[in-house]
Amino acid sequence: MAAQRGYEFVHEYTDRISGAKARRPGLDELMRDARRGRFDVVLVWASDRIARSVKHSLEVLDELNRLNIVYVSFRENIDTAGPLGRAIVVIIGAIAELERNLIIERVRTGMRRAKLEGRHIGRQPLDLDREAILRDRRLGQIAREHSISRATVHRVVHEDAPAPQKQVA
């Protein structure tokens, strides 16, 4: 697409985490380079690759627009060089956000159904030697010796600690 439009390819920015996250290394690098004026156009495969919320999409697009950087989406065939392209991006962003919210709701519904059916949700409980953990209270060593996290050590120690007495005036 860059070659078809006569653009010189500068750099490819990628992320391996969800587009739902506002902070992503690839996007952060892209925005840093945009502020430094390293390119004039951002080409993306699809608009939902930049952000899944309308608010975040608009923030990115507003900053790119302020920096005089054109945003082009291959799948939607959008070019923000004009006002119509910007309007279409806002609509597509709203649809992407709706799709994400529908997915979240379906997952939550499935988890509720599984729980009602008696299926276990989440990771399996750890098989802990509580007595050994309480006996060995050397926090830095306990986690390593028992192959558990420091947070689990804290939880076990505090579960077995007596509750503080309330003082009444």
pLDDT digits (tens, 9 = 90+) for 94-125: 787 888 889 999 999 999 999 999 998 888 87
Does residue 159 register a pLDDT over 90?
A: no
**From CA 35, how far away is CA 32, in angstroms rounded?**
5
Instruction: Give the chain's radius of gyration (CA, Å).
Output: 25
pTM listed for this prediction? 0.51
**Annotated domain spans of the chain:** 2-116, 130-160
Closest CA to 52 of 103, 99, 107, 104: 99
Percentage above 90 pLDDT, the chain: 20
Instruction: Please identify, in words, the CATH class of the domain defined by 2-116.
Output: alpha beta
- CA–CA separation, 80 vs 89, rounded Å? 8
More confident residue, 85 or 161: 85
